[in-house]
């Protein structure tokens, strides 16, 4: 492995950790980077998932203040992310990529629409919510759990733009600020990456490239810290704009590859 390859993978991990914490879709940087250097797609995908776990941890920790009162909600949502992640990771090992990736651009587009419509839909939701858990009705809780489950499946399978999907979904269904929603997204994304990584280690440890894991881990660890500092200072309008730009790039990237 050349010095250029080492530096490129570490920097890709740094960028991915930063972007994942702010929005999501960091995999769209690390995964193509690994393919460029000749790694097999499955090895690149699995090694990338493992390498991004440290960035998920530091990114979630960086949003701890926004999450201070949201412990009960996270405890309700985490099992759906966990189950979805296990399912998606197993699908990666048994299904051809085309079986799952065909709907990804449509899902990301839907997420972007939900993010843009979030403020208006949140105001509408606030006037109609009657649930027993905070201001979230039973029907929206069911929709939220199902959406988090599907996002977890996608995250366990590939993961690019999982954060955009979660942000779009929660922008409609939760009566919280975008920064709080981003904090929830970081925790759920961390759970998905961590659980998927554990599944890969148990089921297919032979496809993991530990050098790649270490290099991406070093970059993503710092990227999570940097992303939290940048993301928490962004006003909601700017954060939504960043989400839309990155989500659009994700769609174009997936359609052209």
> Is the overall model pTM greater than 0.95, yes or no?
no
Among residues 112, 210, 221, 104, which one has the least CA distance to residue 158? 104
Other CB atoms within 10 Å distance of the CB of residue 202: 9
Residue with token string 């996608």: 154
177 alpha carbon, distance to own chain's centre: 18
d(CA 22, CA 186): 9
Binned at pLDDT 50, 70 and 90, residue 187 comes out as: very high
d(CA 22, CA 115): 14
Domain that holds residue 184: 3-256
pLDDT digits (tens, 9 = 90+) for 166-181: 888 887 888 788 888 8
Q: What are phi and psi of 133, to 5 degrees?
A: -100, 95
In sequence order, what are the residues at sequence separation of 6 or more whose Cβ sits closer than 8 angstroms to the Cβ of residue 47? 34, 39, 207, 208, 209, 210, 212, 213, 216
Q: Quote the number of domains for the chain.
A: 1
Among residues 178, 161, 177, 157, which one has the least CA distance to residue 251? 161
Highest mean pLDDT range out of 13-27, 206-220, 222-236?
206-220
Mean pLDDT of 81-87: 93
Highest mean pLDDT range out of 35-39, 80-84, 136-140?
80-84
> What is the share, in percent, of the chain residues with pLDDT greater than 70?
83
175 alpha carbon, distance to own chain's centre: 21
CA separation (Å) from 200 to 36, 81, 213? 22, 16, 13
Between 123 and 82, residue with greater pLDDT:
82
Among residues 208, 216, 122, 214, which one has the least CA distance to residue 171? 122
Name the helix (H) or strand (E) containing 100. Answer: helix 98-101
């Amino acid at each position: 492995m050349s010095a250029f390859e080492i530096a490129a993978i570490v920097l890709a991990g740094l960028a991915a950790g930063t972007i994942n914490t702010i929005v999501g879709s960091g995999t769209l940087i690390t995964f193509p980077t690994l393919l460029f250097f000749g790694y097999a797609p499955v090895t690149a995908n699995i090694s990338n998932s493992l390498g991004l776990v440290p960035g998920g941890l530091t990114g979630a920790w960086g949003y701890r203040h926004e999450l201070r009162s949201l412990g009960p909600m996270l405890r309700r949502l985490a099992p759906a992310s966990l189950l979805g992640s296990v399912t998606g990771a197993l699908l990666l090992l048994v299904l051809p990529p085309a079986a799952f990736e065909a709907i990804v651009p449509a899902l990301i587009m839907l997420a972007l629409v939900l993010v843009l419509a979030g403020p208006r839909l949140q105001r509408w939701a606030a006037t109609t919510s009657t649930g027993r858990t905070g201001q979230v009705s039973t029907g929206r809780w069911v929709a939220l759990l199902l959406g988090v489950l599907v996002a977890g499946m996608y995250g366990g399978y590939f993961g690019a733009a999982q954060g955009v999907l979660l942000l779009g979904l929660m922008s409609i269904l939760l009566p919280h600020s975008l920064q709080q929603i981003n904090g929830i997204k970081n925790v759920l994304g961390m759970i998905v990456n961590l659980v998927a990584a554990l599944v890969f280690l148990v089921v297919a440890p032979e496809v993991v490239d530990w050098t790649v894991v270490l290099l991406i881990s070093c970059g993503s660890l710092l990227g999570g810290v940097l992303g939290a500092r940048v993301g928490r200072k962004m006003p909601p309008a700017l954060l939504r704009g960043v989400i839309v730009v990155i989500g659009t790039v994700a769609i174009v990237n997936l359609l052209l590859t």
